[in-house]
Chain A
């Protein structure tokens, strides 16, 4: 892994190392397997968060339908695992052996055509990337080419999330309905349920997460990232400069969709089931709030936000179930009103300057590095 000072500036490098230390060393050593598995579940939302940083923080496109892509990725993975779990030997008692149990309960006698590719792991991995990517491409092309953006786009993505949830719940025979796909057992013969498998999966997920972080950081630093920021601030000027604004937006939206889908696939592997309750409007908006709490402009912030909000959610809803919704609602309002740049904004505004002052006390006036957060004061202009 090559990390030079151009790829990460100093404070980002510190953030990267701190996050790596936390996820690779501190958490696995200090938590039991059950809690570690919970962390793995929270981290699946961090994938979505990184995508949202690119598409919302940098591109200014608020998508309230990331649950759709999370769900598509998760369902692709779950379909593969479900097919493996329902081999003819495992499903001898069904009237049609060899098909998933919920199909048998719904009087379906043969495997539907769209399930066939999920016998193969290669095709499944391709599907996890391509299905959400293509879906985002279609939605993005239709909307951005016609210059639909801002709140309209948010509402349409929300409607798409509603449609997909209703469809999954309604088509019980093909999708498992409201219960989703449960009882996932093995991945290519390797049992994903015991503790050591959970630990393995956790580390695999963290590796993937860091891969995504590096990719997102790369996109952010290229000219593409600069154009995204420029587009968010002054869309017309970018258009008049000869850039195709729509294509850049479509790209950002598709990347966000693919990140979300990877998160969804990891969710299905780590948690062992997939259900429509992770697809709809409510989870989609919750994913946005994780990102907003962490800081919509910060890739690391998205990871921290997903971890902290979910820890708070688990903690609060375990001990004070009624308080949780008040807390979440209050968090939304507080973040939007008082801290539009989230935790990373607080860090950059209040903590970082003090650290800098401590570390560079000899220099009278440190040259201020040109960072993205300095341009991105306040919220995206519409």
Chain B
């Protein structure tokens, strides 16, 4: 399959496909970060995570429409506000769901999976009733369009660069919050030993609720980023949920670095393969490779060693 291309061409193809993969990588990382926090911290499988992401995407779309109508002068900057709103909307819904549903099911992880699947169906139908079954697309401000010419054969889209920077920033913030702040220390204490953490005065229920909220909020930001690569429909989230779970499991749950590394390798493999074969075969091969590796190494790439 490499026969028809010269070495230089191949290099450019890899760089450009690699860059296309970076946007996918960003969505994966942002979604998987939230999922990994929730899964790693509480052992909860949140099947509705994709719907939290889509909520963020719809919020972004609403914000962009509002800016177009009422504040066209500020339109170039709407995206920053949209991200904050998306984070807050998804996070608030997440905390509500934790309070109403998840906290009753902490001892039954398989049942959480079914209950959150039910929740995802309800959310999908809600989106369909509110926003319509048609997919909606966000209009990007002028400065995000176009692409940057790096060499004669390589050019990269600007929105890709933007999403990349955003992902790096959010990852750093999350890492800082989890590993340096007082609250992050509490979260990690609860992960390691819930009973002891409660005994030394940490309000574990509150920690759970905010953790779930944070995870869902990051999914909302992922939704904002998602609007740049695809149009938003009621069921778009479902398409990503399995991939994201594989990212988390492949990276080793509860490992931030593992999540990033696996999101990177999965998205890069997929987008590079996509150039050489049909999209569906690329996806099949990628997923097969992940499942195969997971069968050989079930604990994932970077496993946190915990005594069980």
> Which A residues are closer than 8 A to B by beta carbons?
62, 64, 142-143, 146-148, 150-152, 154-156, 158-160, 162-163, 166-167, 169-170, 281-282, 285, 288-289, 292, 322, 325-326, 328-333, 335-337, 340, 379-380, 382
Write 19 A-B pairs (CB below 8 A) sorted by A numbering.
Answer: A62-B110, A143-B295, A150-B109, A150-B110, A151-B43, A151-B109, A152-B298, A155-B242, A155-B246, A169-B280, A170-B284, A281-B238, A285-B117, A326-B121, A329-B120, A333-B122, A336-B118, A337-B115, A379-B107
Task: Report the separation of the CA atoms of residues A340 and B108 in the bound assembly, to the nearest whole angstrom.
Answer: 10
Task: Report B-chain residues with C-beta under 8 Å of the C-beta of A335.
Answer: 114
Task: Report B-chain residues with C-beta under 8 Å of the C-beta of A148.
Answer: 298
Of A64, A147, A151, the most chain B CB neighbours within 10 A belong to A151
Chain B residues 213-271 with CB under 8 Å of chain A are 238, 242, 245-246, 249
Task: Report the separation of the CA atoms of residues A142 and B120 in the bound assembly, to the nearest whole angstrom.
Answer: 30
Task: Report B-chain residues with C-beta under 8 Å of the C-beta of A167.
Answer: 280, 284
| Chain B 258-293: CB-based contact to A (< 8 A → 1; otherwise 0) | 000000000000000000001011011001101100
Contact partner of B108 (CB less than 8 A), chosen from A325, A328, A330, A379, is: A379
Task: Report A-chain residues with C-beta under 8 Å of the C-beta of B107.
Answer: 379
| B109/A382 in contact, CB under 8 A | yes
Task: Report B-chain residues with C-beta under 8 Å of the C-beta of A155.
Answer: 45, 242, 245-246, 249
Q: How far is the CB of A263 from chain B (nearest CB, A)?
A: 20
| B287/A163 in contact, CB under 8 A | yes
Task: Report the separation of the CA atoms of residues A170 and B43 in the bound assembly, to the nearest whole angstrom.
Answer: 35
Task: Report the separation of the CA atoms of residues A326 and B121 in the bound assembly, to the nearest whole angstrom.
Answer: 7
Contact partner of B114 (CB less than 8 A), chosen from A282, A292, A326, is: A292
| A336/B281 in contact, CB under 8 A | no
Q: A329-B125, A333-B101, A333-B119 are in contact. Are A154 and B295 (CB under 8 A)?
A: no
| A328/B110 in contact, CB under 8 A | no
Task: Report the separation of the CA atoms of residues A142 and B296 in the bound assembly, to the nearest whole angstrom.
Answer: 8
Chain A residue nearest in CB terms to B111: A336
Q: How far is the CB of A85 from chain B (nearest CB, A)?
A: 27
> Which B residues are closer than 8 A to A by beta carbons?
43, 45, 101, 104-105, 107-115, 117-122, 124-125, 128-129, 238, 242, 245-246, 249, 278, 280-281, 283-284, 287-288, 290-291, 294-295, 298
Task: Report A-chain residues with C-beta under 8 Å of the C-beta of B105.
Answer: 336-337
Task: Report A-chain residues with C-beta under 8 Å of the C-beta of B111.
Answer: 336, 340, 379
| A332/B121 in contact, CB under 8 A | yes
Q: Is the interface of B mostly helix, strand, loop or mixed?
A: helix
**A142-B295, A337-B101 given. 16 additional CB < 8 A pairs?**
A64-B113, A146-B295, A156-B291, A158-B245, A162-B242, A325-B121, A325-B124, A325-B128, A328-B118, A328-B121, A329-B120, A333-B115, A336-B108, A336-B115, A337-B115, A382-B109
| A170/B125 in contact, CB under 8 A | no
Q: How far is the CB of A139 from chain B (nearest CB, A)?
A: 8
Task: Report the separation of the CA atoms of residues A143 and B291 in the bound assembly, to the nearest whole angstrom.
Answer: 10
| B278/A159 in contact, CB under 8 A | no
| B110/A326 in contact, CB under 8 A | no
Task: Report the separation of the CA atoms of residues A118 and B105 in the bound assembly, to the nearest whole angstrom.
Answer: 47
Q: How far is the CB of B113 from chain A (nearest CB, A)?
A: 6
| A326/B122 in contact, CB under 8 A | yes
Task: Report the separation of the CA atoms of residues A340 and B107 in the bound assembly, to the nearest whole angstrom.
Answer: 13
Contact partner of B283 (CB less than 8 A), chosen from A147, A154, A166, is: A166
Which 8 interchain pairs have the tightest Cβ spacing? A332-B118, A170-B280, A329-B121, A329-B122, A325-B125, A142-B295, A329-B118, A336-B115
Chain A residue nearest in CB terms to B104: A337
| B117/A332 in contact, CB under 8 A | yes
Task: Report the separation of the CA atoms of residues A73 and B112 in the bound assembly, to the nearest whole angstrom.
Answer: 30
